[in-house]
Amino acid sequence: DQINALEAEMNRFQAEAGRLRGEADSLQNAINAINAEKAAIQANIQVSEAKIAQLRSEIQTTEIKLNKQKDFLGRALAKMYVESSVSELEMMASSKSLGDFMDKQEYRTAVQNKIQSSIKEVKTLKTKLDKQKKEAEIVLQDQQKQREALVAKEAEQAQLLAQTQGQEANYRELAASRSAEMSRVRAEQAAAYAAYTRRSGISIRAGDPSRGGYPSVWANAPLDSLVDNWGMYNRECVSYAAYKVAASGRHMPYWGGVGNAYEWPGNARGAGIPVGSTPRVGSVAVWGIEDIGGVGHVAYVEGVNGDGSVEVSQYNYGVSGAYSTMTVPAGQARALEYIYF
């Protein structure tokens, strides 16, 4: 019926919204993971930048030291050049002894070697620092590329997340509109039942606690949450009537998909099951759309009184989803159709 169709659509929209919510959660988790990875790479970038800055400082210090060593060597060489203009004979003559002469020679050589060795060490250190700086810059460039790739990936994921959330919102709106439409249709049907009850003088009762024997697996489940053995939704009037026919030992056809109350007389005739206007115990009374609106109504005839009124048991009268019994006045009973299974 219309309500079941609306409910099926609503459930489908809600399921799709739920699926999209799952996708959105996965995308958000992916974005969170990207942000964590970005934070880690940014920390590494800061370490690399600090290392490069430190190496630059060390290289600058080393260059200053190298320049000082070169300057010192230049002055030492200039001094030794001046001294070299003095002949060895003159130097020997000015020396206190041969040992003093040898000491001067060795000192000049030692100073020259020391300065050259120091310059070599400083150059080696600078070369090493330059290499480390270049390697660190390569690492930094790689890290920056990784960060840029993650930023692009994050933007892509964020766009997908926004699209998914938008689709989810659309499906939730559709589900909400179907829910509102269901409420409207139920209200209309309930109003039609109420109007019919008032004008017909029908007396409705809660009925026996066993609910006519209707199986608890269907009776205790939410309305329209299960499908019975004959293709009807649980706690609907058609499900209860089908159960009562089958429970009496008679054949109840499977009318799933064509089981609305107003369809039952046509279904019965098509199956060769008699239909008439006289109430009988064990027959199924049928209210058409013109009687009660919506999709009509069926009830199981429990008794026929001497005054022509009819006792019935039923489910979902007034769109209540509940079990009840009622007495249908003779005038109203004569206007109904009855199916003799």
Q: Which residue has the higher pLDDT, 4 or 326?
A: 326
pLDDT value, residue 258: 79
* CA separation for the pair 47, 140 (Å, rounded): 9
For residue 189, tell me if it sits in a domain.
Answer: no
pLDDT score of 72 more than 70: yes
For residue 195, tell me if it sits in a domain.
Answer: no
pLDDT score of 48 more than 70: yes
Query: What is the tally of structural domains in the chain?
Result: 2
- Residue that terminates a domain, selected from 151, 184, 217: 184
CATH number at residue 208: 3.90.1720.10
33 and 140, same domain (yes or no): yes
Q: Which residue has the higher pLDDT, 52 or 266?
A: 266
* CA separation for the pair 298, 338 (Å, rounded): 9
* CA separation for the pair 13, 129 (Å, rounded): 65
- Residue that terminates a domain, selected from 127, 150, 184: 184
34 and 167, same domain (yes or no): yes
User: Domain range spanning residue 276?
Assistant: 203-339
* CA separation for the pair 125, 191 (Å, rounded): 96
- The share of the chain scoring above pLDDT 90, in percent, equals 50
SS3 at position 233? strand
241 and 106, same domain (yes or no): no
175 and 216, same domain (yes or no): no
State how beta strands 203-205 and 310-315 pair. unpaired
Q: Residue written as tokens 């109350």?
A: 261
- Residue that terminates a domain, selected from 124, 154, 184: 184
Structure confidence by residue, pLDDT tens digits, 118-127: 778 778 878 8
SS3 at position 219? helix
SS3 at position 314? strand
Q: How confident is the model at residue 89 (pLDDT cuts 50, 70, 90)?
A: low
For residue 261, tell me if it sits in a domain.
Answer: yes
Residues 6+ apart with CB under 8 A from 310: 279, 285, 301, 303, 304, 327, 328, 330, 333
Residue range 81-101: mean pLDDT, rounded: 55
In angstroms, how far is the first alpha carbon of the chain from the final one? 23
Q: Model-level pTM?
A: 0.59
87 and 154, same domain (yes or no): yes
Q: How confident is the model at residue 264 (pLDDT cuts 50, 70, 90)?
A: very high
For residue 322, tell me if it sits in a domain.
Answer: yes
Structure confidence by residue, pLDDT tens digits, 277-307: 999 999 999 999 888 877 899 999 999 999 9
For residue 66, tell me if it sits in a domain.
Answer: yes
The type of residue at 22 is G
For residue 193, tell me if it sits in a domain.
Answer: no
pLDDT score of 165 more than 60: yes
pLDDT value, residue 179: 87
pLDDT value, residue 275: 98
CATH number at residue 109: 1.10.287.2610
For residue 323, tell me if it sits in a domain.
Answer: yes
331 and 301, same domain (yes or no): yes
pLDDT value, residue 55: 85
For residue 197, tell me if it sits in a domain.
Answer: no
Q: Residue written as tokens 């060490």?
A: 121
* CA separation for the pair 273, 251 (Å, rounded): 10
pLDDT score of 59 more than 60: yes
SS3 at position 287? strand
224 and 326, same domain (yes or no): yes
pLDDT score of 91 more than 90: no
Angle between helices 2-84 and 98-200 (to 10 degrees): 170
Most confident of 178-187, 189-198, 237-246: 237-246
Residues 6+ apart with CB under 8 A from 211: 219, 323
pLDDT score of 129 more than 90: no
95 and 12, same domain (yes or no): yes
Q: How confident is the model at residue 256 (pLDDT cuts 50, 70, 90)?
A: confident
Is residue 80 a contact partner of residue 115, using CB atoms and an 8 Å limit? no
119 and 58, same domain (yes or no): yes
